[in-house]
Structure 1
Amino acid sequence: MLIWLQQKLGLRTNPTIFFVSAILTVAFVAISILFTDTVDATFKALSEFITTNLGWTYIFGVTSFLVFLIWIACGRYRHVRLGGKDSRPEYGNVTWFGMLFAAGIGTILMFWGVAEPINHYANPPQSGIQPEVLEGLSAEEIAQVEVPSGAAAPLSNAAGEEAMGFTLYHFGLHTWAIFALPALAFAYFAYRRKLPFRVSSIFQPLLGDRINGPIGKIIDITAVLGTLFGVAVSIGLGTLQINSGLGALFGIEQGRTAQVVIIAVVTVVAVISVALGLDKGIKRLSNINIGLAVALLVFVLIAGSTVYLLRGVIETVGTYLTHLVPLSFWNDAFSGDNWGWQGGWTVFYWAWTITWAPFVGIFIARISKGRTIREFVIGVLGAPVAFSIVWFSVFGMSAMRIESGDPGKLVEPVVQDGDTAGALFAFLDSFPATEFVMAVAVLIVVVFFTTSSDSASLVIDMLCSGREWNPPTRQRVFWAVLQGVVAATLIAATGREALDALSQVITVLGLPFFVIAFLMMFCLVKALREDVTDEELLPSPRKLRSKEVPVIKSSANEDSEVLT
């Protein structure tokens, strides 16, 4: 039946993975509309249960991924090349680093660059203050809130240092370990064992030919659903941020109608980019957008307290290194059963990020053929993390300096009023050429989220088909539309609370991904032991670097866009 339907629609994909994933997603949308309260209650209960009883596995799991990657980059397999001992990188280092920078971090930087540091500055995570204690208080009153001995007081210098430590913990090495682990596994099994770009392929050492059976399909369907919902969360966050920017510029009211319209526009642009091809439009626009984001960073650095920020960037590196190990294992055990802060921040981040892992992982794998495992790990963990440190240092420390000079300027709208999405625009209001800079920021956010939607549709389709580099346009259009439908349905059904509901869904969906990730480490090591010869354990002799060549010499190259 499914094969007949596939042929009738002119699709080139695995019919079981494609149609089951689509049916489950459509069913979720329909049930969410018809039984909103029941769905919310169910996922809320599951999310609270997972956070309370299994939240520690999320913290331990991501730290384990990071330790594993460092071990494999330093261990006996460090010289093994992804693609065989005679393969060489298809992209030079500079190009490769640039593409890694673009791989999925643009949306994160724009949304959280101001929002997270200022939140933690007002309510230090380790102060033990419950959020409800701060409700209704002015910035001056927040600064006077008593904290336990040794804890950082709100809006103090110690709170600022803690804020930067936690922010970079969330968006530094740990986040990129979540992306790097599946990317390394995808690259190894696709280039070494010539298996399809599916999550199930990674489990061949454990399942053998059963990766083509029901178990393998269940794994792949889970990956498709997780990626789809992970992107929907980002579309939802981007929608709120765009709505806030348009409100600041043109007075457009923030609400369901405006947000659904924004999602529709983003989806339409993504669909158009699918139809036109990336090299002719959105890919070039994406590259320009990365330049605009860097220009915004330089503008804040120059227009702000430049010397203070340059000093701050250096100091933040030390702050991050100081907090890295303790936070990697911090589970707030002394707070008893209260997981309020860590459940709402760290556990959600890790669950959300790991649902993006197949999306970003496949892209990284596709541009990393020929790299040694050591080169791969150092590059994937090093380049994006270094840029993230600079970005969060400049925006985060600028935000805290603005708040200290004008109490309430950022804390009251962002923390007290809960307008996290509007944090960037409240921040830019303190800089010259305000309206122009805000307009540029809105444009950057729109393009980042549009290209993310378009790129995700390609990756989701690849997770279904396995080998299709240039699938029929209608398949990618379908996934691009479905992403928008999921985000729009939840926003239309429950308004601003829709993102909270989707966050709960992500926390639940993230759990099987952590189980899958632990098995990935086992399967990768098992495959290395089976495949690698003694000769490959030695460093390759130096050769003249060949000129860069494109990854794919076909029209499919139009689909190898930079994920932003």
Structure 2
Amino acid sequence: MLWEPPLVAEAERAPRTDRVVFVAAATITVAFVLWGAISDESLAGVAGSLLAGLMRYGGWVFVLTASVFVVFALWLAFSRYGRITLGREGEPPQYTTVSWIAMMFATGMGIGLMFYGVAEPLAHYVDPPPGTEGGGESQRALTAMATTLFHWSLHPWGIYAVVGMAIAYTTFRHGRSQLISAAFIPLIGERAASGPLGRTIDVIAILATLFGSACSLGLGALQIGGGLQSLGWTEETTIGLLLLIIAIIMACYLASAVSGISRGIKWLSNTNMVMAVVLLLFVLVAGPTVYILDLVPSVLATYFQDFFQMAGRTDAVGGATAEWLSTWTVFYWAWWISWAPFVGLFIAKISRGRTIREFVAGVILVPSAVSLIWFSVFGGAAIHLQSSGIDLAASGAIEEQFYGMLGYFPWSTAVSVLVAVLVAIFFITGADSASIVMGTLTQRGVDKPQLPMTVLWGLLIAAVAAIMLLVGEGGSTAIDGLQNITILGSAPWLIVMLLLCVALLKGLRRDPTAMRARKAQELMNEAVITGARTYEGEFQLSVAPAQQPVLSPREEGREIRPDRPHDTDTGGSGRRSEPPPT
């Protein structure tokens, strides 16, 4: 008989707010907003001091653990646990593969792809990473692209996969609530998971989600503002303009969140995918096509060649490495880690019916391949312009460089408007997913949180994004404010994620599918050892129907009746006939 989880999971029950979790998370959030509104300079000073200490003593932790998550997720996929279904055994996937990947990709890093698609490869080309200076133009281009791919491929999606797997497994396989704390039941027990320790875990997850989403919101506002400035629709990207953009987009993503995953988010994600593909093909055809196509295999080779050097880059290298790491690698790892609760939970919601092997392949390998193509097209086009004598890197702020590159292509105004719309939709998709997820975490893992709770968290995301921009005082330093607070907000969640890996592995070891496979392996090993000892290797294993033992009617528990002599099932021959094989 196939093992099945309970038919009614806790996540399907009526919404019920966990007041302890809600009050704790909301209080910390409101306190942060008030602190930034009253004295943004004081908040910036404290954040800067804490970040300096974290980078000095704990930067290596971010660098090391990000690789640990990737290795852990890939190992699970290729191990015996890869066959375990995230749901009832044999249950088909809830969404088609195309819709599944579109929703996952748009939610996971859509804003970042638009913001850094041109800016990061260009930045590493003009100012090479520590330890890679001195190469020729072609080598600098390959190093810049490989470094960008390192930040946007296996590592972020490995981080997301760990959290998504843990939540999907505990929710759809065991019928538990969609809470981060519920995934810790194999490690700390059900009583502790529903007590103060479990609530603390959920509060940390909410805060990490809040700051990670607010960072994306801030970056999206900066890029939309940069687009308006590049198009000549505004003279300067002021804080007032950024706050207005946040307010308008906030209203849009709240409307999308209200419509739910199957309608709003799914429709927006599919629309975004089509628009992104159109933009990608336009730049590929209108840009340096041959150069971009030549770049793809070379970048992939350089990525694998330099992988361990990039994965092990820490402050031990010396020089300005610590500052570079806080701007790039550690910031990215912190950003992905802070997004992991909400992206992981969202990916879990849409991954029911997938096996762990399918899940890891879809969550890690497919987006990594898309990142390779995306950055090769946009980053390659930007580097080609820069090497041709056009100083694109100095033509504007980092959020304007995407539009600056498009200015050298035909129909630049129309395409720039398309980019701004695409950023806005990515913006909406990520933010409404985050508000729904935080509502889920606040209301005991309910699948569809109440509308007021979703709206409240959407408003708080916008408020925190505004404060994070104010901490940087607008302009180019606004990015610094977003990065610094994101890194600090992700530090507690990093510890939780390490423990989550232990809890997931412990739960998988007890899974019926894994136990059957482990028992079969043990029996096979025992049979081989016994055969080798008994027959000195001269034996073979074969499969045949099991022989049923001869039982008396009394042993079979049947009543013996004189008028039914066939109850003994001897067929008149004195021997018990064997039943047909089953």
Q: TM-score, normalised by structure 1?
A: 0.85
Q: 1:421 to 1:454 in 2, by over 3 A?
A: same
Pairing partner for 1:448 from 409, 414, 426: 426
Q: Is the 8 A contact 1:185 1:202 kept in 2?
A: yes
CA distance in 1, matches of 2:58, 2:355: 35
Q: Does residue 164 of the first structure (1) align with residue 139 of the second (2)?
A: no
Q: Is the 8 A contact 1:121 1:400 kept in 2?
A: yes
Query: What's the offset of the Cα at 1:374?
Result: 1.7
Deviations 1:348-384 (A, max 9, x none): 1111111100111112112222222222212211111
Query: What's the offset of the Cα at 1:442?
Result: 0.7
Query: What's the offset of the Cα at 1:234?
Result: 0.6
Q: Is the 8 A contact 2:268 2:429 kept in 1?
A: no
Which residue does 2:570 correspond to in 1? Answer: none
Q: 1:122 to 1:31 in 2, by over 3 A?
A: same
Q: 1:270 to 1:111 in 2, by over 3 A?
A: same
Deviations 1:220-274 (A, max 9, x none): 1111011011111011111110001011113312111111111111111222334
Q: 1:78 to 1:535 in 2, by over 3 A?
A: same
Q: 1:75 to 1:278 in 2, by over 3 A?
A: closer
Tell which structure's C-alpha radius of gyration is larger. Answer: 2
Q: 1:360 to 1:274 in 2, by over 3 A?
A: closer
Which residue does 2:223 correspond to in 1? Answer: 241
Q: Is the 8 A contact 2:94 2:352 kept in 1?
A: yes
Query: What's the offset of the Cα at 1:110?
Result: 0.6
Q: Is the 8 A contact 2:55 2:322 kept in 1?
A: yes
SS at match of 1:77: helix
Q: Does residue 37 of the first structure (1) align with residue 19 of the second (2)?
A: no
Deviations 1:178-235 (A, max 9, x none): 1111011111111222221111112112221111111111111111011011111011
Query: What's the offset of the Cα at 1:282?
Result: 6.3
Which residue does 2:455 correspond to in 1? Answer: 477
Which residue does 1:139 correspond to in 2? Answer: none
Pairing partner for 1:501 from 456, 481, 484: 481
Which residue does 1:141 correspond to in 2? Answer: none
CA distance in 1, matches of 2:121, 2:479: 21
AA in 2 matched with 1:296: L
Which residue does 1:131 correspond to in 2? Answer: none
Which residue does 1:420 correspond to in 2? Answer: 398
Q: Does residue 20 of the first structure (1) align with residue 3 of the second (2)?
A: no
Q: 1:411 to 1:52 in 2, by over 3 A?
A: same
Which residue does 1:329 correspond to in 2? Answer: 312
Query: RMSD of the alignment, in Å?
Result: 2.2
SS at match of 1:23: helix
Query: What's the offset of the Cα at 1:332?
Result: 4.9
SS at match of 2:23: helix
Q: 1:90 to 1:321 in 2, by over 3 A?
A: same
Q: 1:536 to 1:376 in 2, by over 3 A?
A: farther
Q: 1:372 to 1:287 in 2, by over 3 A?
A: closer
CA distance in 1, matches of 2:261, 2:227: 27
Structure 2, unaligned runs of 5 or more = 1-13, 522-582
Q: Does residue 289 of the first structure (1) align with residue 272 of the second (2)?
A: yes
Which residue does 1:542 correspond to in 2? Answer: none
Counterparts of 1:102-501 in structure 2, within 5 Å, are: 102-127=106-131, 151-152=134-135, 156-208=137-189, 209-252=191-234, 253-275=236-258, 283-335=266-318, 338-408=321-391, 410-414=392-396, 419-492=397-470, 494-496=473-475, 497-501=477-481
Q: Is the 8 A contact 1:120 1:163 kept in 2?
A: yes
CA distance in 2, matches of 1:268, 1:350: 29
SS at match of 2:449: coil
Q: Is the 8 A contact 2:178 2:447 kept in 1?
A: no
Q: 1:207 to 1:50 in 2, by over 3 A?
A: same
Q: Is the 8 A contact 2:102 2:269 kept in 1?
A: no
Query: What's the offset of the Cα at 1:333?
Result: 2.0
Pairing partner for 1:77 from 76, 81, 90: 81
Structure 1, unaligned runs of 5 or more = 1-9, 129-146, 540-564
Which residue does 1:559 correspond to in 2? Answer: none
Q: TM-score, normalised by structure 2?
A: 0.82
Question: What is the aligned-residue identity percentage?
Answer: 38
Query: What's the offset of the Cα at 1:466?
Result: 3.2
Query: What's the offset of the Cα at 1:524?
Result: 1.1
Which residue does 1:132 correspond to in 2? Answer: none
